[in-house]
Structure 1
Amino acid sequence: MQRILTILLPILMKKRSWLLIAVVGWLALSGNGLSLPSGSLLPDLSIDRLWKEPRDILVDRVEDARDAQQETIEQFQTAMEKFKAVTGFDGGDLEAQYEKLNAAYEHSAARATEIGTRIDKVTSAANTLLDEWRAELKDYHDPKLRAIAERQFDDTRLRAERLIGAMRAVEQRTEPVLALFRDQVLYLKHNLNARAISSLDAERGRVQQNVDVLIRDMQAAIDEANAFIETLKIAS
């Protein structure tokens, strides 16, 4: 049965058959121990793929990735505010300040991880759309229409590659900024005294500069995502 499902599910997925919904529901509810094929054989098996067109799914995924980046910008700004608050600390419970800064760092790291997950989903949705589109190009009988469709395909493919590349670049740039934050948090954790505050204050300019550059690049990726979404909506 497992082997049969491995063969049938990709076919049903491509056609977005209601039979697939029944199969998935049966697998989820039955207690027979069967499982879906591995992700390498059937990537991105999500409920929206059962009834949405690949183009619409891609728009949704790009919007999700864009929103995740916007939330990450806001979180990094919050973390920077917490960092500044610690450097301006002039008495009281220093450990409480550390806890706030550490929480801000952890939230920032979680947001950065979410970006990576969202980009993976954009990549998967883009590949699904382009694979289906590429396969259908050969179905054209009119050479002029085929040429137009091929140009549209190439334009969409290049735009998708540029968007995903921009998002991946931003994802990579978050790592050194997070590492810089993490260093400051660790130093404060093990040196809850005035000397630690002085050290953090000396690093404030460098941290701020790194955060500003990251936010600028992330905003550029958000703008790229918005432009890509508009292109897909116009073409649909």
Structure 2
Amino acid sequence: MKKQTLLSVTVLALVLTLSGCQSAYYSAMEKVGVHKRDILIDRVEETKDSQQESQEEFKSALERLTTLIDFNGGELQDTYNQLNDDYESSLNAANEVSTNINKVEDVAEALFDEWSDELEQYKSASLKRESSKKLAATKRQFDQLLRSMRSAESKMEPVLTSLHDNVLYLKHNLNAQAVSAIKGEFTNLKRDIQLLMNDMNKSIADSNKFIEQMNSAG
């Protein structure tokens, strides 16, 4: 999206987005030459970026917990505080991912509804047939991407729950014995985070593929 266009609609877009009136937002963007297709590509990019940020936050929390598990003297309170910060950052990053996925789904639905409605405006049967095929193909590609995004999203919750349980337990039991007690949980958490990373990597790859397909088709 061109910088000049973004600057020209920043205030209006912000107001409409905050008000939750997506249809009005899409209409306003359309008037300045930014179509739903462009918005979809941008939002997929934003979701991909937020997933990458989320990966870093979860990795940081895992590393911090590893430091606690391997604790062999020093200041437990400082490491705990850092772990708690990592958990909060992971939670915020996960919420950002979910918000972005919802925004991707919203604009995709609006785009496909508009595309489907416009098929009825064709006078040429061959052009209508060709556009209908492209719509079906794009829908299939998007459905695959959305499934990939939602799959990765679903794996964030058990990781966040486990992280929260460990942080909460340590909050009131900050000693070497408590650290030893959570070692059993650590193995499962480490596995869950790895599964999450794998799913996110797949979703990111699918996002790149979808963006490439949309740009080449455009």
Verify same fold: TM over 0.5.
yes
**Equivalent residue number for residue 207 of structure 1:** 189
Cα drift, residue 45 of structure 1: 2.4
Is residue 108 from structure 1 mapped to residue 90 from structure 2 by the alignment? yes
Relative to structure 1, the CA distance from residue 61 to residue 49 in structure 2 (aligned partners, 3 Å threshold; closer, same or farther) is: farther
Q: Deviations over 1:122-174 (max 9, x none)?
A: 11211221122112111222211211110100111122122122212211210
Relative to structure 1, the CA distance from residue 131 to residue 90 in structure 2 (aligned partners, 3 Å threshold; closer, same or farther) is: same
**Equivalent residue number for residue 174 of structure 1:** 156
**Equivalent residue number for residue 103 of structure 2:** 121
Relative to structure 1, the CA distance from residue 111 to residue 49 in structure 2 (aligned partners, 3 Å threshold; closer, same or farther) is: farther
**Equivalent residue number for residue 221 of structure 1:** 203
Q: Is 2:155–2:195's contact at 8 Å kept on the other side of the alignment?
A: no
**Equivalent residue number for residue 60 of structure 1:** 42
| TM-score relative to the length of structure 1 | 0.80
Query: What's the secondary structure of 1:192's corresponding residue?
Result: coil
**Equivalent residue number for residue 81 of structure 2:** 99
**Equivalent residue number for residue 45 of structure 1:** 25
Relative to structure 1, the CA distance from residue 45 to residue 230 in structure 2 (aligned partners, 3 Å threshold; closer, same or farther) is: same
Q: Is 2:149–2:203's contact at 8 Å kept on the other side of the alignment?
A: yes
CA distance in 2, matches of 1:45, 1:56: 13
| TM-score relative to the length of structure 2 | 0.86
Aligned residue identity for 2:109: N
User: What are the ranges of 5 or more consecutive residues in structure 1 without an aligned counterpart?
Assistant: 1-20, 29-34
CA distance in 1, matches of 2:83, 2:126: 61
CA distance in 1, matches of 2:124, 2:29: 33
Is residue 161 from structure 1 mapped to residue 105 from structure 2 by the alignment? no
**Equivalent residue number for residue 151 of structure 1:** 133
CA distance in 1, matches of 2:174, 2:60: 22
1:71-110 matched pairs, under 5 angstroms: 71-110=53-92
Aligned residue identity for 1:45: Y
CA distance in 1, matches of 2:22, 2:199: 34
Give 1 or 2: higher helix fraction: 2
Q: Is 1:163–1:225's contact at 8 Å kept on the other side of the alignment?
A: yes
CA distance in 1, matches of 2:59, 2:29: 33
Cα drift, residue 202 of structure 1: 3.0
Cα drift, residue 112 of structure 1: 0.4
Query: What's the secondary structure of 1:45's corresponding residue?
Result: helix
CA distance in 1, matches of 2:82, 2:198: 25
Q: Is 2:155–2:192's contact at 8 Å kept on the other side of the alignment?
A: no
Q: Deviations over 1:187-227 (max 9, x none)?
A: 11111111111122333221111100010011111111111
Aligned residue identity for 2:39: I
Hey, which bits of structure 1, 4+ residues long, moved more than 6 A? Answer: none
User: What are the ranges of 5 or more consecutive residues in structure 2 without an aligned counterpart?
Assistant: 1-8
CA distance in 2, matches of 1:154, 1:42: 24
**RMSD (Å), alpha carbons:** 2.4
Relative to structure 1, the CA distance from residue 181 to residue 150 in structure 2 (aligned partners, 3 Å threshold; closer, same or farther) is: same
Aligned residue identity for 1:198: S
